[in-house]
Structure 1
Amino acid sequence: MDHIFEGLPQDKWLDIIFNASRTLSSKELHRILERLATLEILLEKRLGESWEEELNYIVNSEESSEEIHRYTQNIAIDSMGKILSQNE
């Protein structure tokens, strides 16, 4: 049972997405896409057309890599929780 807790949350998230029911996985992926679209709208409204340049700068910044990694793992954990709580 300990193997459940091994590895990165992001990898476990993929396992859950690929093995959960298609309905639950689709629902969660649509939720993530809507959130991404909303964040892009917000960025464009706040930063204008240059938001993608700012994003690329942050993505490619060594300073931000640890923070991006941490946020990615947190998003994966949150998403897994949403899928698994609906799977009961």
Structure 2
Amino acid sequence: MRRSILLCSFLALSGCANDKTLHFVAGAAASKFTASKTQNALNGCAAAISAGIAKELYDSRFGDVVDAADAVATGAGCMYTLRF
């Protein structure tokens, strides 16, 4: 799992990633950080989903492009903290 996050982070920082990948990596980072601090994976998912919605609300307020798929991609990043 750590290797996957490192690979996604490397791709995102190297400029090889598209916008949805960047949103996914941001959601994974927010989710992992929150889950590790609270010891609760659901809190991590809530953080990722909240971050995605907050970013799109920010975009709508300050004239940037609002894309619901960006919010979904950010929220999907929480899958790294859930265990089935």
TM superposition score normalised by structure 1: 0.34
Structure scoring higher RCO (CA < 8 A, sep ≥ 6) equals: 1
Which structure would you say has the larger Rg?
A: 1
Kindly indicate which of the two structures has a greater share of residues assigned to helix. Answer: 1
